[in-house]
Amino acid sequence: IDGHCRHLKAMLRWAKSQGMLNEVPHIDMSKRGKGAKLMKGRPITFEEFERMLAKVESFVGAGNAASWKHFMRGLWWSGLRLREAMSLSWDEFADGLIVDTSEEFVTIVIPADHEKGGKNRVYPVAPEFAEMLLSVPEVDRTGFVFNPRPIRVIGGRTRATDAQAGRTVVKIGEAGNVVV
């Protein structure tokens, strides 16, 4: 829309310069903060999220459903991007984002080499996400936090790749009639 409006404004200014118009009409253009970028998508509603969860088993199968529901709930409660969630680890020296449950509040540690500002950062998580993480027994808190199982096992993989996870979430959303 903004592109069309810019062309229209240019055409109207040209028409005025040619004497075809006495005055250029005012056209409101949407305002965006300096340096701000447009959203790539929109957040889904809770009702849409529930519809997606209801379609998980029918799409990924009964054997894989628990791992996918856990992954999708993690995306919902954490606010992480898909790749961030896939790299989230329980291990202190992992290559990626790390969950720290050793303090009073559950936090996510982002190492400097994974952070835009080049500094180690520690962020608290939402209470619902903390509750979800703390519900995992301590003996199971190793490796990646989320391990969605691949629908088709290729080469003995037991965990979906980032690309497979993205495509699967999209297909689950489409099955639940959610615009994804």
User: What contacts 105, CB < 8 A, 6 or more positions away?
Assistant: 124, 125, 130
89 SS3 class:
strand
Q: What is the pLDDT of residues 118-130, one digit of tens each?
A: 898 999 999 999 9
Q: Which two tokens stand for residue 144?
A: 């990646």
What's the pTM?
0.75
Q: Which residues contact 180 (CB under 8 A, 6 or more apart)?
A: 41, 44, 169, 170, 173, 174
CA gap 173, 31 in Å, rounded? 31
In the predicted structure, residue 90 carries a pLDDT above the cut 80:
yes
Q: Return the amino acid letter for 57.
A: E
CA–CA separation, 114 vs 122, rounded Å?
12
pLDDT tens per residue, range 5-39: 888 899 999 999 999 999 988 888 777 666 666 66
| Residue environment code for 69-102, b if the CB has 16+ CB neighbours within 10 A, otherwise e | bebbbbbbbbebeeebbbbbbbeeebebbbbeee
